[in-house]
Amino acid sequence: MRSRAIYGCAGLVLSAEERDFFRDVKPWGFILFARNVASPDQIKKLVAQLRDTVADAKAPILIDQEGGRVARLKPPQWLARPPAAPFGALHAENPQRAREAVYLNARLIAHDLTQLGINVDCLPVLDVPVPGSHDIIGDRAFAADPTTVIALGRAQIEGLLEGGVLPVMKHIPGHGRAGADSHLALPRVGASLSELSASDFVTFRSLNTCPIAMTAHVVYDSIDPQRPATTSPKVIRDVIRGEIGFEGLLMSDDLSMQALDGPLSLRAKAALFAGCDLVLHCNGDMGEMKDVAAEVKELEGLSLKRSEQALAHLSVPDEGFDPQAAQTRLAGLMGAGA
């Protein structure tokens, strides 16, 4: 039985200590960062090493491959992908072209990932930025209106799924109003519940059949002024599972981010108690991972069921997909909107 955690690793290959640790704690999955990336062959070997530790050839391997400034796979080995905002700009001119462009871009990202054995992408970003908010979201968002975010987010989900990659919508229930970067500080949002319902929550509510979602390390004063969403039973119960109606697999954002405080073991315990199905720890620090593992139990019950349902969305991509033709078409669509 696997545990309720996703871990990163420190480098380009697994150390003996990492292999032993992962074999012992059997995480649900793993996540890759730029520090783990050198070449396609190296990534394939690392992915195989990770999966070997849990004796599962299909174990979830996650990555943040959005495009723009959030991309772990970069040129020259991989083609640079645009951030979300240019697709939103195209949507303002020609919604049909924009939807096709987003679908093709996501399908091409999925193609890049599956070639390496990666089967989960932390995408789409469904946050709706507002004027004056921190630019940690910025051009990672499709637009500042929920309607555009929903239309293009749906196309992105479809492209990833059809390419054999599970999408993870983030950052539920909404990071767009945050006035701080949650990697560095705890953001607080003072908007009323009615404001949040009308804008921030609606994108996630409209796409609530996405298999996996990632929480926001954001405090919503009108809902729970004491705890960020990740560790708030009230936000997860009343908003994420309640108003938004998300019934899929819920994972935390990275526990090591500075928006959270206290020992890593207590962060993990609080997130799981609040209602997260899985906790994410990214930086590959062995001491911190051991602290997290001390509080992470086996995946069982409703969380196990949600995991099984999410993984059931994984499919084998169509062998007839032509990445060169798709890239040519995508370039034409984006050029037409310029």
Specify the pTM.
0.97
Rounded to whole angstroms, the Cα distance separating 136 from 141 reads: 10
CATH number of 3-336: 3.20.20.300
- pLDDT value at residue 178: 85
pLDDT at 181: 78
Alpha carbons within 13 angstroms on the beta-carbon side of residue 74 total 11
- Take residue 294 and report the two structure tokens written for it: 């001390």
pLDDT recorded at residue 337: 46
Note down pLDDT in tens along the chain; length 338 residues: 899 999 999 999 999 999 999 999 999 999 999 999 999 999 999 999 999 999 999 999 999 999 999 999 999 999 999 999 999 999 999 999 999 999 999 999 999 999 999 999 999 999 999 988 888 899 999 999 999 999 999 999 999 999 999 999 999 999 999 878 778 888 899 999 999 999 999 999 999 999 999 999 999 999 999 999 999 999 999 999 999 999 999 999 999 998 899 999 999 999 999 999 999 999 999 999 999 999 999 999 999 999 999 999 999 998 899 999 999 999 999 985 44
Nearest Cα to 218, choosing from 265, 268, 253? 253
pLDDT given for residue 182 in this prediction:
78
Output the CA–CA distances (angstroms, integers) from residue 166 to 9, 68, 309, in the order listed: 21, 20, 11
Please give the pLDDT value at position 336. Answer: 58
For 206-265, give the DSSP string.
Answer: HTTT-SEEEE---EETTT-TTS-GGG-HHIIIIIIIIIS---SEEEEEETTSTTS-S-HH
Task: List C-alpha distances in Å: 96 to 80, 88, 148, 334.
Answer: 23, 12, 11, 12
Q: Give residue limits of the domains in the chain.
A: 3-336
- The pLDDT tens digits of the residues spanning 226-263 come to 999 999 999 999 999 999 999 999 999 999 998 899 99
Count of beta carbons in the 10 Å neighbourhood of residue 69: 9
Instruction: Report the distance separating Cα 314 and Cα 68, nearest Å.
Output: 26
In the chain, the N- to C-terminal Cα span, in Å, equals 51
- Tokens 């004796």 -> residue: 55
Report the alpha-carbon distance of residue 64 to residue 50 in Å, rounded. Answer: 17
Helix (H, G, I), strand (E, B) or coil at 301: helix
Contact 282, 31 (CB under 8 A): yes
pLDDT of residue 99: 98
Exposure b/e, 106-117, CB count within 10 A at least 16 = b? bbbbbbbbeebb
Which residues belong to the active site?
Answer: 183, 253
Q: Nearest 10 degrees: CA dihedral of 192, 89, 78, 136?
A: -30
